């Protein structure tokens, strides 16, 4: 017998919905909760009761004594957050010539495409995206849309605007040069004045896949990074640093950044320091895995493929140790990178984190509550708790068995609206 579809009614301010599920994953690091009752309207969650605890009458409709929708065989979990994505880039494109052509679009064209792909992420279960920078103003424009009173249906976006790099070094496609300003503080002040939600720094280059290492010297000194971090902190902004290679990572950590992005070739002692300083790590397996998955199309030889496999294996070992040590691990896909489509790239990232050795519950926490708490976003999403936004997923395919089940048929509740999603979704254009 086919199970009934998971389609709770639409919630409004006048008509909150009482939902009962068999298992609740609330976005914390705690254990799954059984027999949960959740009441929510289109703005926020009003009540969460576990082990059969029912909501008080005053938040229900007059005379209501039973749930609007019950799914004792289903799991409820928060909507996902991609904590590292480049919304101005189309990640599904692999061909280098076509990717280069896309970057020749005007800012208005880039924004129009980014707005379309962002709206489509709602139906994939994304509640929010932490944009990781672009020099065209695309992320800032999308962030501005989020604060409109008549906001469109799209995930929350926070953007740093243009990242900060040194002229002539890696990052020109997404950053503005620090040399444009008389001091590091002046550079940060300009980003904040433009609307940056946090400050993105690029202290290192990228991995040289043919060499199997980060071969370029870091582009920022520890002192320079510390000045940028201090300026951001004084202006109420967190910082996140693109950093791979142990020397560049050491400088980023010493400067006091709030998170390390990518973090390939982390040393074990650096992971301990990250734990002690509460520095979050966004490991981004997906873009390097995509290089391996599409090695033939990208022209990589056997030696380079061996390097990619070795790099990914070492990264997985670092992730396992980080989990054991208690490092704050946050999921981000680097969507927009070659072969990493938006939305689908995050689902792939979660699968890769599980394959690396993290338990499914830890992976789910990394994509929900971990970043929500550590990064202190302006809106409350990523948890299922009173006062948090009503953005979550409902599924009969338990992600506790494997996070790959997040690709199976599922229902998305987004600000009270209801959408169905399934396996036959198309990543083209994302």
Structure token pair of residue 161: 């605007």
Q: What is the pLDDT along the chain (430 residues), one digit of tens a residue?
A: 567 789 999 999 999 999 999 999 999 989 999 999 999 999 999 999 999 899 999 999 999 999 999 999 999 999 999 999 999 999 999 988 899 888 899 999 999 999 999 999 999 999 999 999 999 999 999 999 988 877 789 999 999 999 999 999 999 999 999 999 999 999 999 999 999 999 999 999 999 999 999 999 999 999 999 999 999 999 999 999 999 999 999 999 999 999 999 999 999 999 999 999 999 999 999 999 999 999 999 999 999 999 999 999 999 999 999 999 999 999 999 999 999 999 999 999 999 999 999 999 999 999 999 999 999 999 999 999 999 999 999 999 999 999 999 999 999 999 999 999 876 677 877 8
**First vs last C-alpha separation in the chain:** 36
Contact (Cβ atoms closer than 8 angstroms) between residue 127 and residue 80: yes
Q: Which residues pair with 75 in a beta bridge?
A: 23, 395
Q: What angle do CA 341, 306, 170 make, to 5 degrees?
A: 55
Helix (H) or strand (E) holding 259: strand 259-262
Furthest C-alpha separation in the chain: 70
In the chain, ranges of CATH 3.20.20.140 domains:
80-375
Q: If DSSP codes are grouped into helix, strand and coil, which group holds residue 98?
A: helix
Phi, psi angles (nearest 5°) of residue 304: -70, -40
Task: For residue 261, give the nearest of 131, 377, 376 by alpha carbon.
Answer: 131
In 36-106, where does DSSP find H-type helix? 96-102
Contact (Cβ atoms closer than 8 angstroms) between residue 64 and residue 9: no
In the chain, ranges of CATH 2.30.40.10 domains:
17-78+382-421
DSSP conformational letter for 354:
H
Predicted confidence at residue 2, as pLDDT, reads 62
Q: What angle do CA 161, 166, 169 make, to 5 degrees?
A: 105
Predicted confidence at residue 181, as pLDDT, reads 98
DSSP sequence for 311-333? HHHHHHHHHHHHHHHT--B----
Strands (DSSP E) along 147-209, which ranges?
156-158, 163-165, 175-177, 199-201
CATH architecture under which domain 80-375 falls: Alpha-Beta Barrel (3.20)
pTM for the structure as a whole: 0.97
How far, in Å, CA of 275 to CA of 314, rounded?
Answer: 19
Q: Which residues pair with 128 in a beta bridge?
A: 81, 156
Q: Per the CATH hierarchy, to which homologous superfamily does domain 17-78+382-421 belong? A: Urease, subunit C, domain 1 (2.30.40.10)
């Amino acid at each position: 017998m086919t199970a009934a579809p998971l389609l709770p009614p639409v919630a409004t301010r006048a008509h909150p919905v009482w939902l009962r599920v068999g298992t609740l994953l609330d976005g914390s690091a705690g254990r799954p909760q059984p027999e949960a009752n959740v009441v929510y309207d289109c703005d926020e969650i009003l009540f969460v009761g576990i082990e059969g605890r029912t909501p008080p009458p005053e938040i229900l409709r007059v005379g209501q004594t039973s749930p609007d929708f019950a799914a004792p065989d289903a799991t409820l979990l928060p909507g996902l957050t991609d904590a590292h994505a480049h919304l101005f880039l189309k990640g599904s494109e692999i061909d280098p010539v076509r990717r280069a052509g896309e970057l020749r679009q005007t800012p208005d064209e880039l924004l129009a495409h980014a707005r379309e792909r962002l709206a489509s992420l709602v139906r994939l279960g994304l509640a929010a995206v932490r944009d990781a920078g672009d020099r065209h103003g695309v992320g800032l424009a999308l962030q501005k849309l989020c604060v409109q009173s008549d906001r469109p249906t799209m995930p929350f976006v926070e953007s740093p605007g243009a990242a900060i790099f040194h002229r002539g070094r890696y990052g020109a496609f997404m950053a503005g040069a620090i040399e444009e300003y008389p001091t590091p503080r002046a550079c940060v002040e300009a980003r904040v004045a433009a609307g940056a939600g946090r400050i993105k720094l690029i202290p290192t280059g990228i991995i040289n896949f043919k060499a199997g290492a980060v071969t370029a010297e870091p582009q920022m000194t520890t002192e320079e990074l510390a000045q940028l971090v201090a300026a951001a902190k004084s202006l109420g902004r967190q910082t996140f640093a693109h950093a791979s290679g142990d020397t560049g990572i050491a400088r980023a950590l010493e400067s006091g950044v709030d998170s390390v992005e990518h973090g390939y070739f982390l040393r074990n002692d650096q992971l301990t320091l990250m734990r002690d300083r509460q520095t979050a790590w966004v490991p981004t397996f997906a873009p390097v895995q995509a290089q391996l998955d599409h090695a033939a199309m990208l022209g990589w030889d056997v030696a380079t493929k061996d390097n990619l496999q070795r790099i990914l294996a070492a990264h997985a070992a670092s992730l396992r140790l980080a989990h054991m040590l208690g490092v704050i691990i946050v999921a981000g896909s680097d969507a927009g990178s070659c072969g990493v489509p938006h939305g689908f790239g995050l689902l792939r990232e979660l699968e890769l984190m599980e394959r690396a050795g993290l338990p499914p519950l830890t992976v789910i926490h990394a994509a929900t509550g971990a970043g929500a708490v550590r990064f202190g976003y302006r809106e409350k999403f990523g948890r299922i708790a009173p006062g948090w936004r009503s953005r979550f997923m409902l599924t009969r395919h338990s992600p506790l068995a494997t996070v790959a089940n997040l690709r199976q048929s599922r229902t998305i509740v987004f600000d009270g609206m209801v959408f169905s999603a399934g396996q036959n979704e198309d990543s083209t254009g994302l």
